[in-house]
Amino acid sequence: MEMIDSDSIPASIRKRRQTASVSTDGILQEDVLFKSPSYAAAFIIGGHANGLTEWKLSDGKTTLKDMENSEV
Cα 6 versus chain centre, distance: 14
Q: What is the tally of structural domains in the chain?
A: 1
Decide if 30 is inside a domain. Answer: yes
Decide if 31 is inside a domain. Answer: yes
Decide if 38 is inside a domain. Answer: yes
Which structural domain range is residue 27 located in?
11-69
Does the pTM surpass 0.85? The reply is no
Position 15 scores a pLDDT of: 92
Decide if 26 is inside a domain. Answer: yes
List pLDDT tens digits, range 14-39: 999 989 999 988 899 999 999 999 99
Choose between 13 and 2: higher pLDDT: 13
Decide if 27 is inside a domain. Answer: yes
Position 39 scores a pLDDT of: 93
In single-letter form, the type of residue at position 50 comes to N
Using the CB atoms, write b or e for 15-43: b if 16+ within 10 Å. ebbeeeeeeeeeeeeeeeeeeebbbbbbb
